[in-house]
Structure 1
Amino acid sequence: MEMIGRIAGVSQVTVSRALSDPSKVSPATLRKIQDAIAATGFVPNALAGALASRRSRLVSTLVPSITNLTYSSMVKSFAQEMRAQGYQIMLSECGFDPAEEEAAVMTHLSRRPDAMLLVGTRHSANTRKMLLAAGIPVVEVWDITDTPIDLCFGFSHPEAGKAAARFAAGAGYARAACVGASDERALRRKEAFRAEFRALTGTEVPEARFESEASLGIGRAGLARLLDTEGFEKGVVFCSSDLVAHGVLLEAASRGLAIPGDIAVIGFGDQGFAPDTFPPLTSMRVDRGALGASAARAIFDRLDRGHSAPIVTDIGFEIIRRESA
């Protein structure tokens, strides 16, 4: 800053003032300082600034998977809101293991973020302890709980599973099965679907579960397992994600099965490709863009107003019926 000041013909204090609050210097002086910064390639020391202002202008964002469209679209809207307010996100992928999330939380907190976004509400005891002690806004998304750390925006996964079962039974399907990955939220939806469908129809619901992330391959292998080893014939298949459901559609087509005459398919997430599969995919929609934007605005409110009571917001879901079921 001393060098920038010499080039611009102003004091180091004026440079510091211009960087922390441009409104405190005249437009002409600000232009001189900006020209000097552009000429030298100077990057302000954000850590030093954070010590003085107690704001890093960084918000930590931890997601299970950066390749999963469910999370990426939510993070996009979250980041857009953050940038509009002069913040940047610091993003990490932490998988579905609570121990990995705990390690990521510890690392991020050491960088002194102004707030943190987490996916899910089930964390290790030490993660909760660290976040409560940090004294920063924390928003948990994609789930709801009666005991949030601070802010919570999401929906009930068991209720989503039950709603899918009621939809399937109401559509006249007498048999059902499940195919999916093994993350804990997908498992809660699946178990709720199986219990509700069994209660409504009196029939058991077989499943093909895989210990890996969602993929087309899981969908294809899952339907193959149901048909070849579980004795499943005609009925509806409830999938843990649209990606898995797309794989089920592909496997059914490869076997010459009619959709939805032989095999009906319900996905989860209502991804952008869902209307363009063949046939178009019935899915459960959660407004991910609104979720990310709402989480960001809640953080801004916390930062502006200080700490207040925990907030839990149920954003709900809806079933989008298309030709696959």
Structure 2
Amino acid sequence: MKDVAVAAGVSVMTVSRAFKEDSSVKRETRDHIRQTAEALGYVFDGTASNLRMKRSDFVAVIIPSVNSANFADTVRGLSDVVEARGRQILLGNSDYDVSREEKLIDQLLRRRPEAIVLTGGRHTSRARKLLVSAGIPVIETWDLPEEPIGHVVGFSNAATMEAMVAHLVTSGRRRIAFIGGDASSDTRGADRRRGFVRAMQAHGLAADHLVGIGTPPASMTKGAEAMKQVLRNLPDVDAVVGVSDLAAFGALTECMRQGILVPDQIAIAGFGAYEIASVSVPALTTIDVRPREIGHRTGRMVLSILDGDGAAFPQISKIEPMLTLAESAP
């Protein structure tokens, strides 16, 4: 900062004020100082200022997978909102591991984020204690936890899957299998599987056609392997629901390899409204959980709370997923 002051012919204090948008610094002087700093390659260090103002200007976000297009869309939506107000995202990847999430929470809280956004509502007991004691807004997304830590932006994965089953039953399908959701680490997948079982039982149908795909995330390869098991062990199945569109697309390709007509012989549906659902042949019936909207709402909630609006009580923003019908399960 001293180097910039000497080069610009001003005091160090004026340089500091120029980078903090202090109204006491004339616009011409501010522009001159910043141009000088640019030429010198200087970047203003706002750490001390942020500590004094109790602001870090970033929001911590933890997602289960950086490879998921849906979670990426949520982060983009969140970034769009908070970056417009001068804040940035600090991203952590839990890899569907609550123990790793706990470590990330510990590390991120040490950096004094203004808020922390989590994916899902299930955490280790220590993680919950850390979050409750953090003294910052905590927003859980992609779920409707029974005991939220603070604020929530999400939907019921179980209830949404029940709606998918209801559609398949209404369209005449009775022997329906579910692919995925067997790993305890994927809590949202487990909730979808639970919703499938509950819906099948409510319709008086067999709910035991469950084929696991192992550790998350779900993939097209795992979906294809699971479909092989379905066709080998459950030959009477007339519909299959994937825990995600990736698993469903894998199942669809296996049907094509074995000459199974979709949807004439077996209807196939997914979850998530990934791009692959709309471009596959036939296109996949799926559930659009509106991941970008989850991000937008979360961003608006964070800013509202930081502005002092509604910070004293939990806010619950429910997302309404949309059933998107297509050729694979009309």
TM-score (norm 2): 0.94
- The corresponding residue for 1:80 is 80
- The corresponding residue for 1:244 is 247
**Secondary structure at 1:305 match in 2:** coil
Q: CA RMSD in A?
A: 1.4
Q: Deviations over 1:207-264 (max 9, x none)?
A: 1112222111111001001111x22334111111011111011000011110001111
- Offset at residue 273 of structure 1 (A): 2.5
Q: Deviations over 1:249-299 (max 9, x none)?
A: 100001111000111111001112211111010001111111101100110
What amino acid sits opposite 1:302 in the alignment? Answer: I
Q: Name the CA distance, whole Å, in 1 between partners of 2:58 and 2:120.
A: 21
- The corresponding residue for 2:140 is 140
Of the three residues 218, 241, 246, the one matched with 1:214 is 218
Contact kept, 8 Å, 1:174 with 1:201, in 2: the verdict is no
- Offset at residue 301 of structure 1 (A): 0.7
Q: Name the CA distance, whole Å, in 1 between partners of 2:110 and 2:38.
A: 31
**Secondary structure at 2:317 match in 1:** strand
Q: Name the CA distance, whole Å, in 2 between partners of 1:278 and 1:233.
A: 23
Matches within 5 A, 1:147-226: 147-181=147-181, 182=183, 183-212=186-215, 213-226=217-230
What amino acid sits opposite 2:254 in the alignment? Answer: E
Amino-acid identity (%): 31
Long gaps (5+) in structure 1: none
Q: Name the CA distance, whole Å, in 2 between partners of 1:40 and 1:190.
A: 58
Q: Name the CA distance, whole Å, in 2 between partners of 1:179 and 1:134.
A: 39
Of the three residues 256, 265, 269, the one matched with 1:266 is 269
- The corresponding residue for 1:318 is 322
- Offset at residue 133 of structure 1 (A): 1.4
Total equivalences in the alignment: 324
**Secondary structure at 1:152 match in 2:** strand
Q: Deviations over 1:59-103 (max 9, x none)?
A: 111100000112011111111212111111111111222111000
Q: Name the CA distance, whole Å, in 2 between partners of 1:36 and 1:115.
A: 34
Q: Name the CA distance, whole Å, in 2 between partners of 1:83 and 1:290.
A: 16
Long gaps (5+) in structure 2: none
Q: Name the CA distance, whole Å, in 2 between partners of 1:304 and 1:99.
A: 32
**Secondary structure at 2:203 match in 1:** helix
TM-score (norm 1): 0.96
